[in-house]
A and B are shown apart, each in its own frame.
Chain A
Amino acid sequence: MSSRRSRAQSTTGSSRISDDQIIELVSKLHQLLPEINRSNGRRSNKASANKVLQETCNYIKNLHREVDNLSDRLSQLLSTIDADSPEAAIIRTLI
């Protein structure tokens, strides 16, 4: 491990990204992800980078879809209310 890190540092002088940093980021990301638990419960401490990344991609796509749906609904809502109302202003900020 030390040799690998020193190798990384020797070859990339400027970018010294430690492995632990990456691991920490991945675990942070893992915490953000919605976990689909199994029926009998599931340990959520395992966070393989591969799975986390995959889940993140899927989750972001889902959220994109949600945002699109909600935007549609909000724009519909906006059309129904008085355009000068503060609610409209709020809604406009969201879309």
Chain B
Amino acid sequence: MHGFLPSFYKDRNMNHHVTGFQQLQEDHCSIPDSSRPKRLPTGDEDIMELLWRNGQLVVQRSTKKFGGGGEVEVPAEQLTVKGIRSTAEEQHLFMHEDEMASWLQYPIDDSSFDRDLYSDLMYSAPLPTTPPPPPPPPPPPPPPLQAPVIAIAPPRPLPAQKPEFSPRFQNFVHFSRIPCRQSVEPISKPFATAARESTVVESNETPAVGRESRASLLDFRTQMNTEGGTAAVDARATGAGKLAAGTCEFTVSSSPGGSGSSFSASGKPHLQTRKPTPAEERKRKSREADENECRSEENEDYELGSDTNRQERVFAASSSKRSRAAEVHNLSERRRRDRINEKMKALQQLIPRCNKTDKASMLDEAIEYLKSLQLQVQMMSSMGCGMVPVMYPGMQRFMPGMGMGMDMAMSRPMLPFPSMQLPGSGLPNQATPAAHMGPGFHLPAFHLPPVLPLPDSSRIQAVSSLADTMLNSLVSLDPNQPRMPNFVYPYQQFPGLQQVAQLPLPQNQAAALPSTTKETGNMGNQRSAG
């Protein structure tokens, strides 16, 4: 717990609890020896000044309400009992102009008066939706950089539950404008991270403190601008990238005068990650009924300049009701799209040698790869049956080590019906027993003999000849509806081939490839027909 008591406390050589303070605040900036306003935990919202008088802390009500009214003696024990807590508490209370930094710090523990003053101020928006991840102390007063934001968007009607919002807030604005940034940083450093962490709704996703402060900026805007429900919604959206980018958007728009360089500088890289959102904002303005098309937004090109965002947001501010509903919709849409995009990326990583980036070709690749994998697994699982590994065009690049040989083999034109056709016609009937993995079935015996006449052939040719044999034998079969319509014509045998390839799959492998049940059903029809 850090607080900062002015060094003059130290100088006064006060009693023991001063040293307690002293430990905490050695590195803090010194505060001029004017009074330190401190609010006692009385629930009183007046600004009390804590003064050192006669060797004791006394509390003096602020002149605001009482014109310098009475004093209340605060026994030192009260402070000592609280000890470190009180030091933490008092930090944020200082309304002294020179101590602008003071109220930037906030106590770690949540005492009631803190909450009265600040939690309503800064925390109302996040609290109903998502509690901040750490134990929720009230958020810090906004860093001075946010002052322009607040000043810009004050005219929005403030939420009803914060009746004292505006006057207090104005005070804060006033104080925040005081340039004391240098002192802010070292002092608030122990708190800043915690403060921002508490402020930021999704801080656990944004490790950078900078981002968190931007998010707290976002929260402020949320409260100032009910229209900034988008902002709040954005803040709560999944993904740190979106959060940061969303905040960066707002900083761009709301702090044109140049918020901290950290904001604008780091805002730009995030802008690129925010592709879906500008499109969503666009759509929000021009709502269409069929926006609910499930995949309709997937193909959007979401590149938009920040200028468009700014204009759209300005426009959004004026139509709150419609856009609020639209925001919810947009949020859900964005979430859905993000999930889909995540899965597309995951899929892309699963597919080997996939260098495509657009959705359609990636889906194409996925389909091909999935088929080839299925086939491969079937082949391998039935390897004991001696089934030939069969491939069809498009699959070759997925097979390891197949390389050029198989390409050449597979691209050979289909042989005319060889003499093998005769045994081939018996193939379908034999295929059924072959479907069961076991010793005695005809298929391997049928296929091996063609290999024998080619003792010197490379294994690739052997395999290809086997494949051709199989293919040819399949031609006699009724080529069922092809599963790959795009492969049908030059390689008409392949669709049927695939069925045969799936034939040997034993029934007990249904768990692995339950899709083969479809195929066996087809083959059942085929056999009955043939």
B is bound to A: yes
Q: Do the beta carbons of A87 and B386 come within 8 Å of each other?
A: yes
Q: How far is the CA of A66 from the CA of B381 in the complex (A)?
A: 9
Which label, helix, strand, loop or mixed, suits the secondary structure of the A interface? helix
A91 to B5, CA, bound (A): 80
Contact with A along B353-368 (1 / 0, CB 8 A): 0000011100110110
Q: A32-B367, A87-B386 in contact; A11/B296 too (CB < 8 A)?
A: no
A residues within 8 A CB of B370?
29, 32-33, 56, 59-60, 63
| 0 or 1 for each of B278-294: is its CB under 8 Å from A? (1 = yes) | 00000100101011011
Chain B: CB-nearest residue to A71 = B380
Q: Which of A26, A56, A92, A93 has the most CB of B within 10 A?
A: A93
Chain B residue contacts of A70, Cβ below 8 A: 377, 380-381, 383
Shortest beta-carbon distance from B498 to chain A in Å:
11
**A-side interface size class:** 35 or more
The answer to the question of B512 belonging to the interface, with a C-beta cut-off of 8 Å to chain A, is yes
Residue of B whose beta carbon sits closest to that of A48: B294
CB-based contact A32/B515 at 8 Å: yes
Residue contact A26 to B350, C-beta cutoff 8 Å: no
Say yes or no: is B339 at the interface (Cβ < 8 Å to chain A). yes
Asked whether B376 lies within 8 Å of A94 as measured between CB atoms, the reply is yes
Contact, CB under 8 Å: A77 / B384:
yes
Bound CA–CA A77/B383 (angstroms): 9
Rounded to whole angstroms, the CA-CA distance of A48 and B295 in the bound complex is 9
User: Shortest beta-carbon distance, B347 to chain A, in Å?
Assistant: 6
> Is residue A34 contacting chain B, with contact meaning CB distance below 8 A?
yes
Is there an interface contact between A29 and B340, defined as CB atoms closer than 8 Å?
no
Please tell me if A40 contacts chain B, counting CB pairs below 8 Å.
Answer: no
Beyond known contacts A17-B359, A74-B383: 17 more, CB 8 A cutoff: A3-B286, A3-B288, A11-B303, A29-B367, A33-B370, A34-B513, A60-B373, A62-B512, A63-B370, A63-B374, A67-B377, A70-B383, A74-B380, A87-B448, A89-B463, A90-B466, A93-B459
A-B contacts, 13 of them at CB < 8 A, read A1-B293, A15-B358, A19-B299, A23-B295, A49-B295, A60-B351, A66-B381, A77-B383, A87-B444, A90-B463, A93-B460, A94-B376, A94-B389
For the complex formed, measure the closest distance between the CB of B370 and the CB atoms of chain A, giving whole angstroms: 5
Partner of A28, one of B346, B367, B448, B514: B367
Q: Select which of B299, B351, B367 is within 8 A of A17 by beta carbon.
A: B299
B303 closest partner in A (C-beta)? A11
> In the complex, which residues of chain A have a beta carbon less than 8 angstroms from the beta carbon of B351?
60
Question: Is B336 positioned at the interface, with any CB of A under 8 Å from its CB?
Answer: yes
> What residues make up the interface of B, taking CB atoms closer than 8 Å to A?
283, 286, 288, 290-291, 293-301, 303, 336, 339-340, 343-344, 346-347, 350-351, 358-360, 363-364, 366-367, 369-371, 373-374, 376-377, 379-381, 383-384, 386, 388-389, 401-402, 444, 448, 451-452, 459-460, 462-463, 466, 512-515
The answer, among A8, A50, A59, for a CB contact under 8 Å with B301, is A8
Instruction: Spell out A's residues near B (CB within 8 Å).
Output: 1, 3-5, 7-8, 11-12, 15, 17-19, 21-23, 25-26, 28-29, 32-36, 48-50, 53-54, 56-57, 59-64, 66-67, 70-71, 73-74, 77, 86-87, 89-94
Report how far A56 CA is from B348 CA in the complex, Å.
11
A19 touches B298 (CB 8 A): yes
Contacts of B360 in A (CB 8 A): 17, 21-22, 25
Which A residues touch B294, using CB under 8 A?
23, 48-49
Complex CA distance for A94 and B399, rounded to whole angstroms = 9
Given contacts A25-B364, A60-B350, A89-B462, is CB(A94)–CB(B380) below 8 Å? yes
